[in-house]
């Protein structure tokens, strides 16, 4: 990434073939803005859904995708008081959500959506929409936090209360799922991980999974989860798929169980039977990343726990399309773009 | 109801035509039991679903249906310390749920299900599964509380935090819904009531509804609810129907909205789109009545609020089948059986 | 209040005799500021403690006291998006507390403390530190909300969960106490009010008090409160005094009781015996007003409940010292300064 | 411990010199009781306060002290359904607190207080006041859980929400404190331990303390705690002393900090200044052990975390007075009585 011009990857229309390098001017920070020299960007599955036109059908082009970046503050607006030049910062993706309940109309100010995306040399963050990067993490590692880690953290530590010894079932081994696994293990939760690959399940065990279920060899993974919990059911399921998969999730839950809806890999619909749902007084909650205060608390925890994000592969800034192709294949952990 | 023999209404098989009078012995209280002379019994929609075989397909016959009763303690077991002869008590329907989380395997000890039902002259309550009836209520009024009132109370005052000024949408004008309306009004919530009958909606207004929607003339009642809230959406919906109706419920909710699943009048399935659910961080919770502590708190509130249950009609003990027929037509409030 | 110059009341040193009229320039709004033409200002007891030097011994002079004002937006900064010229707004006193937990170092940005006070014709609010005034309230009424009403609301509706039928004991009949009484009554709580004046207690009953205790004729008001609750103790006490008074507050509480520390009329110390405190698992919480989201929720509730603040007396802008003198005598409700 | 007669240690009056061996009959289980053959008993500091007459001045003699025991079920009452002969159980000390809020009049049914103590060969537990002992623990280890471990667990995992990365300051290295340290470390909390002994602090570090403070060499341990947290203050303090010590605890807390009052080693009074308390919106909570559901959850966590209680010394059943003498000297962890 060079200094005077601002290189970007821009979509001129839907489809990965329309994601192309572009050049523009370095943006001017307003009074409350930070100008940030990007050091690393991570990809999320929703970036693929935006690029291929599934998630935001009325996107305005040209559009710079992605939301997660770490960089160095190189200039600050006249009124900025929270950060200084030289600090390493991460962007708060839902920019107008400092704490508590979300703003009434969400996604009004969201990085990589209503606000510009991160695949540029230089980006702007509002000073109230940035947090310090955890000092113990490298740039590549820190870039993975804004969506994947914060979503997992919010589901396990903010939206509910983690009670050590309880069980949490985590679907898959993508970026959010592996953060969830690492947090769960660090909180003393018993994590059950599902995957179609025994190799990935083996690696999940090394990361602290209590039990694993291969849903290819055990399609009735809900029954397997009930067996693992002596028939009582698990306390919490992180749903990454939706559709009929959620029926099994409900079935795997025990009394006062919780289903956190995080992903939509498989369907835009959710359906399940009412009776077990009512009998066990299940709570199903939709999540959308998290607020800035949670981001700050998470970063403090990452330091305290000495937790290291799982990186599947790092691509150069000139390899963005290949990084997106990798994303589609289902990485183990995160895909990051870093370096020039 | 006479004294030496114990008259009951018993099902010999599924269907209202098989619900017949029977006579038996007055039960003997165990050391921790209360022997209660029944004074009034109220019906719930789930009693109809049990009688016609929908809810518990493997029911053992003969079976005495219904769960809600008020009566007088006429004898106590040797170890009883919480109640005395002469007190007026209500049964706690989920008998082994004193407070906090529900027992791991719910409905193991439930009145009118695993435990005998209430359509008898004499019934037994465990002393830990009974509460004092609110003194300000008549027998007929008190009999309506164990399921309908407690379900509404639990949804509005226990499972969540009622915040005055917020909006709650209540579907229909049956027993649970009218209790919900009365509680909502007493807590300072703005209640929106839906019904297909303008006449019922008029009565709902008299009971404290802030706004009403006739879903026959306004089938897109979710859009109507959004209009009533300046497009922000309601804070809480009490779902009484299920199925596709829940799609509209999700659509009517605003940021951090809550959907409490209480009834299953229309479908045994629940389905809705994931995107608005995640965007607004919706919580959907299944409810099953409530615990004894909540019952006690509710009774205290009923006294403080001088709240009077809405009774549609009272039938005699010899008119039980007619009472069930009325239930099927959709009463405005509660159906009660009282008197000999 | 005139237009071109900005009249104020300024302290040149501690003591009411040093509070004098002054004139200055109308302030210039920064990009995110609202310029507000003041319409009414209300006094709080802490304003007296600031004027006489008790609360902030290192205050910098000249200083414009008071924190609560309502006014009309007459100009907005270039970046303002939340408000428009012509809207009627209230200032959020702890300006950098939008929601959730408070900022780590509190009172960094507080109206009438680190930020200028309100006794001026024109004041500035950051757009993120203002809320719309409830349309149903007059200017005089609206001016009472920012500290007194929000403190009472936060204690009863935000920091805990109001459960109808429970008891709350409110000390005194000042501004915060009467808001607490009105909110408590509107939430279905049973409010017990204490005062040394039977006349004030009579007015408290008219405002919805369930019971009253004259602590002059009944100095052991804690025992009186236990009697009123059949020996069970009250659920919540709002402490306005501190010192030994808090011992009685602890004694008046029942199991799982809560003591909200709101005022410091009598002492800067708090002390009580440990044993009853532990036995009943008491929670004592210190409160400092509340966040902006709570302010917005409260204003919505004020509309829904049609609640009207209790005003003891309104003084003109030229009568500020007399208003402060009145404050010292213990008003029934709020003292407001309005008009030119 | 022999079989036909029931040996006990009984107090005939206050003072350790009046604690003497006695013999009685093996008690008869009522219909809902478990007859338990004791295997190990642990001591708590409150047992000393009871023996010397400080805690319960109106104690009725003869009295068998202590509350914490593990044993084997050797007979069950006719109505018992939750346990079987042969199971290893622990007694729930506050016997009538299954979950949720405590019973209105607490300590009505408490082991070693209103109910008989545990220093007997055979004891009775109500079946609703017993839990299974964690299989991974020895008898000696399991006996330490009912008060010390449950109090620490309740303070850290039930009464509040443990958020990994936050700080908790734990006073001393007695039984409750070391359990708190072990739980805190397992939840990802940063534990700061205080003691007057560098040797004990060294052992605390081995058990997972993040930082330690010797309050003999650093009497202003509150300032030391502020330094360790970059001036922000700690999030949670477990108060074991009371009196003026609590002033330092309040001073050591940051915004929204929490002070859990657990012990009363130094004073029966609590006092602190109001201003910092209100400014930081501190919560002070009195705790009394915990409910049965929490006990069950804790035991599940002990299995999941493979946590081992810290035992200072084990005494034989004939060495009870020596065990009490050791208790007074301030053990590192727990004192247990086991074996005949």
Whether C261 contacts chain B with CB within 8 A: no
Query: Which is nearest to B127 in space by CA: B100, B150, B95?
Result: B95
Whether B32 contacts chain D with CB within 8 A: yes
**Nearest beta carbon to residue B162 from set C162, C166, C210:** C162
Q: Average pLDDT for residues B158-183, to the nearest whole number?
A: 97
**How does residue D1 score in pLDDT terms, banded at 50, 70 and 90?**
very low
Within 8 A of C240 by CB-CB distance, chain D residues are none
Q: Average pLDDT for residues C206-211, to the nearest whole number?
A: 98
**Would you state the pLDDT for residue D105?**
63
Whether B242 contacts chain A with CB within 8 A: yes
**Would you state the pLDDT for residue C339?**
82
Within 8 A of C298 by CB-CB distance, chain B residues are 165
Count Cβ neighbours within 10 Å for each residue of C199-216 and write b for 16 or more, e otherwise: ebbebbeebbbbbbbbbe
Q: Look up tokens 């395997």; give the residue.
A: B105
Within 8 A of A279 by CB-CB distance, chain B residues are 106-107, 286, 288
DSSP run (H or E) holding B211:
strand B211-214
Q: Look up tokens 């007695």; give the residue.
A: D174
**Nearest beta carbon to residue A165 from set D164, D190, D304:** D304
pLDDT at B331 over 90: yes
**Nearest beta carbon to residue D293 from set B30, B79, B101:** B101
Within 8 A of B28 by CB-CB distance, chain D residues are none
Within 8 A of C100 by CB-CB distance, chain A residues are 98-100, 291, 293
**Nearest beta carbon to residue D31 from set B31, B291, B293:** B31
Q: What residues are paired with A131 via a beta bridge?
A: A90
Residue B15, phi-psi category: left (phi > 0), alpha (psi -120 to 50), beta (remainder): left
Within 8 A of D255 by CB-CB distance, chain C residues are 101-106
pLDDT at A56 over 50: yes
C75 CA to centre of own chain: 28
Whether A3 contacts chain D with CB within 8 A: no
Whether C208 contacts chain D with CB within 8 A: no
Q: Are A34 and A73 in contact (CB under 8 A)?
A: yes
Whether B101 contacts chain D with CB within 8 A: yes
DSSP 3-state of B102: coil
| Touching chains, A (3+ CB pairs < 8 A) | B, C, D
Q: Residue B310 phi/psi, 5° resolution?
A: -90, 115
**How does residue A104 score in pLDDT terms, banded at 50, 70 and 90?**
confident
pLDDT at B3 over 70: no
Contact residues for B198 (Cβ-Cβ < 8 A; gap 6+): B214
**Nearest beta carbon to residue D278 from set C232, C269, C288:** C288
Q: Do D32 and B32 touch (CB under 8 A)?
A: yes
pLDDT, tens digit, for every residue of D167-215? 999 999 999 999 999 999 999 999 999 999 999 999 999 999 999 999 9
Four-point Cα dihedral D198, D203, D205, D208, nearest 10: -150
pLDDT, tens digit, for every residue of A6-50? 999 999 999 999 999 999 999 999 999 999 999 999 999 999 999
Q: What residues are paired with C213 via a beta bridge?
A: C194
Q: Is the peptide bond before D62 cis (omega within 30 degrees of 0)?
A: yes
Angstroms from B185 CA to nearest CA on chain C: 9
pLDDT, tens digit, for every residue of B101-136? 987 765 568 888 888 899 999 999 999 999 999 999
Q: Do A165 and D301 touch (CB under 8 A)?
A: yes
**Nearest beta carbon to residue B186 from set C161, C188, C303:** C188
Residue C139, phi-psi category: left (phi > 0), alpha (psi -120 to 50), beta (remainder): alpha
What is the spatial distance between Cα C184 and Cα A191, in angstroms, rounded to a whole number?
44
B208, with CB counted inside 10 A (0-12, 13-18, 19+), is: middle
Q: What is the ipTM of this complex?
A: 0.93
DSSP run (H or E) holding C223:
helix C221-228
Whether B322 contacts chain D with CB within 8 A: no
Chain D residue with CA closest to A299: the answer is D165
pLDDT, tens digit, for every residue of C157-206? 999 999 999 999 999 999 999 999 999 999 999 999 999 999 999 999 99
User: Lowest-pLDDT range, C149-153, C329-333, D291-295?
Assistant: C329-333
Q: Do C102 and D261 touch (CB under 8 A)?
A: no
What are C208's two structure tokens?
A: 């919805």
Q: Look up tokens 């979503």; give the residue.
A: A151
Q: Are B69 and B123 in contact (CB under 8 A)?
A: yes
Chain D residue with CA closest to A167: the answer is D304
Q: Over chain C, what is the mean pLDDT? A: 94
**Would you state the pLDDT for residue C198?**
98
Within 8 A of B100 by CB-CB distance, chain D residues are 98-100, 291, 293
Q: Do D187 and A188 touch (CB under 8 A)?
A: yes
Q: Domains in chain C, start-ordered, CATH in brackets?
A: 5-144+310-338 (3.90.180.10), 160-286 (3.40.50.720)
Find which of A81, A99, A104 to mutate to test the C interface (most C CBs within 10 Å of its CB): A99
pLDDT at D65 over 90: yes
Q: Over chain B, what is the mean pLDDT? A: 94
Q: Residue B247 phi/psi, 5° resolution?
A: -60, -45
**How does residue D107 score in pLDDT terms, banded at 50, 70 and 90?**
low
Residues present in chain D in total: 340
pLDDT at A216 over 70: yes
Q: Do B286 and A282 touch (CB under 8 A)?
A: yes
What is the spatial distance between Cα D195 and Cα D200, in angstroms, rounded to a whole number?
7
Within 8 A of A176 by CB-CB distance, chain B residues are none
Angstroms from C272 CA to nearest CA on chain D: 5
Q: Are D225 and D234 in contact (CB under 8 A)?
A: yes
pLDDT, tens digit, for every residue of D210-248? 999 999 999 999 999 999 999 999 999 999 988 889 999
**How does residue B4 score in pLDDT terms, banded at 50, 70 and 90?**
confident
Q: What residues are paired with A73 via a beta bridge?
A: A36
Four-point Cα dihedral B200, B202, B203, B206, nearest 10: 160
Residues 272-291 on D with a CB inside 8 Å of B are: 291
What are C203's two structure tokens?
A: 């007015």
DSSP 3-state of C293: helix
Q: Look up tokens 């007694």; give the residue.
A: D91
């Amino acid at each position: 990434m060079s200094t005077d011009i601002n290189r970007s990857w821009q979509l001129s229309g839907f489809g990965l073939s329309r994601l192309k390098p572009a050049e523009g001017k370095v943006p001017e920070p307003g009074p409350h803005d930070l100008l940030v020299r990007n050091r690393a960007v991570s990809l999320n599955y929703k970036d693929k859904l935006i690029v291929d036109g599934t998630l935001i059908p009325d996107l305005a082009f040209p559009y710079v995708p992605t939301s997660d970046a770490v960089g160095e503050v190189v200039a600050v607006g006249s009124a900025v008081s929270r950060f200084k030049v030289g600090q390493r910062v991460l962007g708060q993706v839902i920019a107008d959500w400092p704490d508590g309940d979300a703003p009434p109309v969400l996604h009004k100010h969201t990085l990589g959506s209503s606000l510009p995306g991160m695949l540029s040399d230089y980006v702007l963050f509002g000073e109230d929409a940035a947090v310090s990067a955890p000092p113990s993490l490298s740039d590549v590692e820190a870039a993975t936090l804004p969506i994947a880690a914060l979503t997992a953290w919010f589901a396990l530590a903010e939206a509910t209360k983690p009670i050590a010894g309880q069980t949490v079932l985590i679907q898959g081994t993508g970026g959010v799922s592996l953060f969830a696994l690492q947090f769960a293990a660090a909180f003393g939760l018993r994590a059950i991980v599902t995957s179609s690959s025994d190799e990935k399940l083996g690696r999940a065990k090394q990361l602290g999974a209590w039990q694993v279920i291969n849903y290819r060899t055990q399609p009735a993974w809900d029954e397997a989860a009930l067996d693992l919990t002596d028939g009582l059911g698990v306390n919490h399921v992180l749903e990454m798929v939706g559709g009929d998969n959620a029926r099994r999730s409900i079935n795997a839950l025990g009394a006062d169980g919780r289903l956190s809806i995080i992903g939509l890999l498989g369907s835009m619909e959710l359906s399940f039977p009412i009776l077990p749902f009512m009998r066990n007084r299940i709570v199903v909650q939709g999540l959308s990343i998290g607020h800035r205060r949670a981001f700050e608390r998470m970063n403090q925890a990452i330091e305290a726990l000495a937790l290291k994000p799982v990186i599947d592969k790092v691509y150069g800034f000139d390899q963005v399309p290949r990084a997106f192709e990798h994303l589609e294949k289902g990485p183990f952990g995160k895909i990051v773009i870093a370096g020039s």
